[in-house]
Amino acid sequence: MEDHPVLVPGRPQRQPDPGRRAALHGRSGERPQGRGQRLARGDDVEADRRGRPRHRRRPDHRPLSTGRSTMGFVTASDGTQIFYKDWGTGKPVVLSHGWPLNSDSWEAQALFLAANGYRVIAHDRRGHGRSTQTWHGNEMDTYADDLATLIDTLDLREATLVGFSTGGGEVARYIGRYGTGRVEKIVLVSAVPPFMLKTDDNPGGVPIEVFDGIRAGSLADRSQLYKDLADGPFFGNNRPGANVSQGIRDAFWLQSMQAGHRNALECIAAFSATDFRADLDAFDVPTLVIHGDDDQVVPFEVGGKASAERVKGAVLKVYPGAPHGITDTHKEQLGADLLAFLNS
Q: Give yes or no: 295 in active site.
A: yes
Count Cβ atoms below 10 Å from residue 297 Cβ, excluding itself: 25
Q: Which of 141, 206, 143, 151 is nearest to 182 (CA)?
A: 151
By CB neighbour count within 10 A (0-12 exposed, 13-18 middle, 19+ buried), where does 339 fall? middle
Conformational region of residue 216, where left means phi above 0, alpha means psi within -120 to 50, and beta covers everything else: alpha
Catalytic residue, chosen from 145, 295, 328, 337, is 295
Using alpha carbons only, give the angle 253, 92, 125 rounded to the nearest 5 degrees.
35
Q: Give yes or no: 337 in active site.
A: no
Catalytic residue, chosen from 96, 103, 131, 165, is 165
Rounded to whole angstroms, the Cα distance separating 156 from 154 reads 5
* Exposure string for 111-135, b = 16+ CB within 10 A, e = fewer: bbbbeeebbbbbbbbbbbbbbbbbe
Q: Give yes or no: 324 in active site.
A: yes
Radius of gyration for the chain, computed over Cα atoms and rounded to the nearest angstrom: 24
Catalytic residue, chosen from 97, 123, 291, 324, is 324
> Could you give the residue numbers annotated as active site?
165, 295, 324
